[in-house]
């Protein structure tokens, strides 16, 4: 059984985002960039840093997951089918200004997804 690639879903999602992006430029400039993006990244990036000193492969998988999870939810391409495995780990934290125990939850979910288990 082949190991799941961290980047398998990204090429499938990118064309959809790029197609809808021009229609959402006003929203991106007025709301998304100044408010939503900083909050989103400040919640999911610390979760990724937990893996930096433990599981490098998990850290490398978490970074693109964080960035894609933080793409605007208003884009039609933002669906659970895009990056399904990443969403289990990072998606629940994105866009929340406060949360409790994300490192513990993310580590447990990563262990559940690990092929070694």
Work out whether the CA dihedral 25, 78, 101, 5 comes out positive or negative.
negative
Give phi and psi for 39, each to the nearest 5: -65, -45
Q: Which residues contact 111 (CB under 8 A, 6 or more apart)?
A: 117
Put simply, whether the predicted model's pTM sits higher than 0.85 gets the answer: no
pLDDT digits (tens, 9 = 90+) for 51-84: 887 788 788 878 877 777 776 654 544 444 454 4
Domain ranges of the chain: 10-113
| Nearest in space to 64 (alpha carbons), one of 31, 32, 89 | 89
């Amino acid at each position: 059984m082949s190991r799941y690639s961290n980047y398998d879903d990204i090429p499938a999602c990118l064309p959809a985002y790029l197609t809808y992006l021009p229609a959402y430029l006003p929203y991106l400039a007025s709301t998304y960039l100044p408010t939503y993006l900083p909050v989103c990244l400040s919640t999911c990036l610390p979760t990724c840093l937990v893996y930096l000193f433990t599981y490098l492969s998990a850290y490398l998988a978490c970074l693109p997951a964080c960035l894609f999870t933080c793409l605007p939810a208003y884009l039609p391409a933002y669906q659970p089918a895009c990056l399904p495995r990443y969403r289990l780990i990072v998606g629940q934290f994105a866009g929340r200004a406060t949360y409790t125990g994300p490192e513990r939850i993310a580590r447990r979910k990563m262990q559940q997804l690990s092929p070694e288990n």
